[in-house]
Structure 1
């Protein structure tokens, strides 16, 4: 997925790797399952993808990868 369009109209590019606009999210419970040497691909599979909009500060969270629509969070304050 090279880019997405934010609700505010900003186009967020994800083509650069690593991307400053793409964040990775994992719960404490899932993270604690990894001990010692870590298989990076296995760890990555457990992470949720988050895309950050620099313009409006919204977070687009892809709980099930880019194949499904994101849940979008907007800052209240």
Structure 2
């Protein structure tokens, strides 16, 4: 997914690696299940992708990767 059009009409470019607007998150419980040396690719696969609009700060949370629609959150 190289670009995402936000509901505010901002076009978010995700083609750069690393992307300034893409974040990864993992729950505390999941994180605490790891210790010692960890395979970065395996850990990455367990993380949820979050895209933050640089204009309105709306969050697009991809719980199942980019193949499923995101949950969308915006500031009140």
TM-score for the superposition, normalised by structure 1: 0.96
How many pairs does the alignment contain? 76
**C-alpha separation in 2, matches of 1:73 and 1:25:** 15
Normalized per residue, which structure has more strand? 2
Where in structure 2 are the equivalents of 1:1-77 lying within 5 Å? 1-76=1-76
- The normalised TM-score by structure 2 is 0.97
Superposition CA RMSD, Å = 0.5
Gapped regions of structure 1 (runs ≥ 5): none
Query: Structure 1 runs of 4+ off > 6 angstroms?
Result: none
SS at match of 2:66: coil
Deviations 1:24-43 (A, max 9, x none): 01000111111000110111
Q: Which runs of 5+ in 2 are unaligned?
A: none
1:70 Cα deviation from its structure 2 partner: 0.7
